[in-house]
Amino acid sequence: MKRIVVLLLFSILLISCGSEKSVDSYIIENSDYEGRYVAKIVRIIDGDTFVSFANNDSLKIRLSGVDTPEMGNGKSKLHQPYANKAKEYMTNLILGQEVLIIPKEKDRYGRLVAWVFLDDIDISEELLKAGLAWHFVKYDSNDNYTRFEKKARSKRIGLWEDNVPIAPWEWRKMKKEEKEEYMSSR
């Protein structure tokens, strides 16, 4: 009951703020009372970010609980090792599929951070099992995710084949020259 009241008040606030679509209004319009909704995946941006489509609207989604290797962006076209493999894995797993999206929060970039399931398969869990992601413990305390990452590490699966893989949050801090040096030493 409390959720319904909160959603109702939030809806009124959004309506009074104008017609521009926000992540919050998207959730309200496209979800049941618990916030979950089904959407089709129409684009994979990288290993942990994609675009979903539901009710004639698209929305950028960031997987909750994991962080995958970084794709090169506008400033640096240098991809982190295993970035392409993580993106390819996601593409094969969910592109064109209808998935269940359970919203968690909005991040500082305006993306919806969410848990995502294909049937009963937790997508974040699958990336960890495949050795293509780190458990993002700064933002998530799921013990299962920690266990899946440790198992992939011990089996040296995916990015854990590298002797010293660099976590995405460390890669993002590195200067272009440091990244180039790292890549040339591999």
> Where in the sequence numbering do the catalytic residues fall?
62, 70, 111
Q: What are phi and psi of 69, to 5 degrees?
A: -55, 145
Q: What share of the chain is helix, strand, coil (3-state, %, to 5)?
A: 40, 25, 35
Angle at 68 between CA 54 and CA 173, to 5 degrees: 120
**153-163 b/e (C-beta count within 10 Å ≥ 16 → b):** beeeebbbeee
Coil, strand or helix: which one is 177? helix
Crossing angle between the packed helical segments 23-30 and 2-16, to the nearest 10 degrees: 130
Task: For residue 18, count other CB atoms closer than 10 A to its CB.
Answer: 7
Rounded to an integer, what distance in angstroms lies between the CA atom of residue 10 and that of residue 16? 10
